[in-house]
Amino acid sequence: MANETQTMTQTMTVSIWRENGDDGRFEKYEVPARENQTVLDVVAYVQQHIDPTLSYRFACRVGMCGSCAMMVNGSPRWTCRTHVSKVVADDQLEVAPLRNLPVIKDLATDMDPFFEKWVAAEAVFHPSKTRHDPMAAITPDDPMRIAASEAIECINCAVCYAACDVVESNPDYFGPAALNRSWSLVNDIRDDGQDVRLAAVGSNGGCHNCHSQQGCVQYCPNELNPTLSIAGLKRETTKALFRRSR
Amino acid sequence: MLDLRLYMLQRLTALIMAPLVIGHIAVMIYAVQGGLTVDEILARTQGSVAWFLFYGSFVVAVSIHGAIGLRVISFEWFGLNGRALQLFSWAVFALLFGLGAKAVYAVTFAGVGL
Amino acid sequence: MIRPHRTHPLWFAFLLHRLSGLGLALFLPIHFYMLSLAISAPARLDGFLRFTDLTIVKLAEYGLVFLLAAHLFGGLRLMALEFLPWSPHQKTMAALAVAFAFLVSTLFFLKAI
């Protein structure tokens, strides 16, 4: 002991969800407890030094792409933007795949349902002009443009989708991200599909299922407000109802 | 599973009931003082068209509102679906409306003219 | 006990709204039945009303009035959220709804005992 030349590295235990087929369970790994590390660093360490079979997603690792979204100690977060020291509780760190999505393997989820609902909610642009038509004149201070711009920075990371309890309990519910994008397009005067869009968001899986729990607002890393957007959709569908019944 | 129509019904009945609830709470606070008796209740409500309309519309609204609310809960928390969900929703409506109408009648026009 | 992603105030506001609605929906059939006794068995209803003079029952009524007021004010909060321009004070509105519910139900209780 007296002749120790190496410094002892502190370690911590991290529980990571492993799943390959029907066998989902948490497995514990001992990783170095560094002063400055993100949860993504920890996951990468496990895959690079302990178990190369661990599957996970990341890309930019600087909080711009949203690929590394996972459940960290029960909350949906971008792991590259989650400092271990901020979330570790009683020396426990638990990393799991995003909630409300099917698991492909370990920490990688199948994003197909998320994007299918994007399309189903008509969160897609319906062009009304050709290249031969004059450009739409939209000024930056136009209220509709401002509303659209406030909702537009969504990068489809599915953190809000994982946070939402209505998504969990209602398989048909489109979810906050799809409806938020739909709202941004409701405010786009170049879009030609408003009737189709309002019918979609007023349908069975649409905006009227939202209970305004605002978990999406709480967790969106881009500080978007899907609850606000969904409230806007509720107003628009209501107005459409009264316009129709004239 | 709430579409536009059910959602609007829920919000409309809520709006209708807002003043009715406030009125009901006000009556409660007034009436509870000094204890409640059947005579005291009936002295207020018996034969009264106004109270019949007040509590009558309350019962209609709450039957719809409660049925839709329980519909959402039974779907989201208990996984009820399809035909069972429909039956349950209508059963709740029928129960609340049936018992509620009976209660309104009992305190307004049931004993009148006897 | 509550899952971590739910531990924020507006989720609790949702839970209060849902549980108060559920509680009221379960209470109503009993309430309606008791009132219908006014005509079919008034003596029995009078006996029941005397039973409600007990403090423990008054406490239960306190709870019920709180549920009703909380559901009312919470519902108004929700409809304001949905139909009026967005307010950045969502947590304040939720807190005010609970505060008013508490005020109203306490007023009832103090008048009742």
For residue A246, the model assigns a pLDDT of 54
Task: Please report whether residue A2 resides in a domain.
Answer: no
**Residue-range definition of the domain harbouring residue A210:** 112-244
Size of the A and C interface in Cβ pairs below 8 Å: 48
Instruction: Kindly list the domain boundaries of chain B, sorted by start residue.
Output: 4-107
Total domains in chain A come to 2
Same domain, A19 and A73: yes
Higher local confidence (pLDDT), A226 or A5:
A226
Percentage of residues in chain B with pLDDT exceeding 70?
A: 96
Q: Which of A100, A164, A166, A169 to mutate to test the interface with B (most CBs of B within 10 A)?
A: A169
Asked if the model's pLDDT at residue C111 lies above 70, the reply is yes
In chain C, what residues touch A218 (CB-CB under 8 Å)?
8, 10
Asked if the model's pLDDT at residue C89 lies above 80, the reply is yes
pTM of the model: 0.93
Asked if the model's pLDDT at residue A160 lies above 80, the reply is yes
Asked if the model's pLDDT at residue A164 lies above 80, the reply is yes
Mean per-residue pLDDT, B37-41: 86
What ipTM does the predicted assembly reach?
A: 0.91
Q: Name the pLDDT band for A6 (thresholds 50, 70, 90).
A: very low
Of A86, A109, A132, the last residue of a domain is: A109
- DSSP H stretches of helix in A122-169: 143-151, 159-163, 165-169
Q: Name the pLDDT band for A8 (thresholds 50, 70, 90).
A: low
Asked if the model's pLDDT at residue B113 lies above 90, the reply is no
Mean per-residue pLDDT, A66-83: 97
Higher local confidence (pLDDT), B4 or C1:
B4
Give the number of other Cβ atoms within 10 Å of residue C8's Cβ. 18
Mean per-residue pLDDT, A59-86: 96
Tens of pLDDT, residues A200-237: 999 999 999 999 999 999 999 999 999 999 999 999 99
The rounded mean pLDDT for chain C is 94
Farthest-apart Cα atoms in chain B, separation: 50
Task: Please report whether residue A138 resides in a domain.
Answer: yes
Half-sphere exposure of A51 (CA within 13 A, CB side): 16
For residue A88, the model assigns a pLDDT of 87
CATH code at B4-107: 1.20.1300
Characterize C77-104 residue by residue with b for buried, 16 or more Cβ atoms within 10 angstroms of its Cβ, and e for exposed.
bbeebbeeebeeebeebbeebbebbeeb
C68 and B21: CB-CB below 8 Å?
yes
Same domain, A238 and A117: yes
Q: Name the pLDDT band for A5 (thresholds 50, 70, 90).
A: very low
For residue A81, the model assigns a pLDDT of 96
Lowest mean per-residue pLDDT among A89-93, A97-101, A111-115, A145-149:
A89-93
Asked if the model's pLDDT at residue A178 lies above 60, the reply is yes
Asked if the model's pLDDT at residue C42 lies above 90, the reply is no
The rounded mean pLDDT for chain A is 93
What CATH number did the domain enclosing A201 receive?
Answer: 1.10.1060.10
- Cα dist from C58 to A24, B27, B100, C65, whole Å: 51, 16, 23, 10
What CATH number did the domain enclosing A83 receive?
Answer: 3.10.20.30
- Please name the residues in contact with A48: beta carbons below 8 A apart, sequence gap of 6 or more: none
Q: Is C21 on the interface with B (CB under 8 A)?
A: yes
Of A68, A93, A109, the last residue of a domain is: A109
For residue A91, the model assigns a pLDDT of 79
Q: Of A213, B19, B66, A224, which Cα lies nearest the Cα of C78?
A: A213
Same domain, A130 and A217: yes
Task: Please report whether residue A33 resides in a domain.
Answer: yes
d(CA B83, CA B61): 24
Asked if the model's pLDDT at residue C48 lies above 80, the reply is yes
For residue A7, the model assigns a pLDDT of 52
Q: Which of A209, A211, A236, A238 to mutate to test the interface with B (most CBs of B within 10 A)?
A: A209
Mean per-residue pLDDT, A42-70: 97
Of A84, A109, A134, the last residue of a domain is: A109
- Cα dist from B8 to A184, A221, B101, C82, whole Å: 23, 32, 23, 12
Q: Name the pLDDT band for A93 (thresholds 50, 70, 90).
A: very high
Mean per-residue pLDDT, A33-48: 95
d(CA A51, CA A65): 25
Same domain, A118 and A235: yes
Could you say which of C29, C50, C68 has the minimum Cβ distance to residue B25?
A: C68
B4 and A208: CB-CB below 8 Å?
yes
Mean per-residue pLDDT, A24-45: 95
For residue A4, the model assigns a pLDDT of 46
Higher local confidence (pLDDT), A144 or B109:
A144
E strand segments, A65-145: 69-72, 75-78, 92-96, 103-105, 108-109
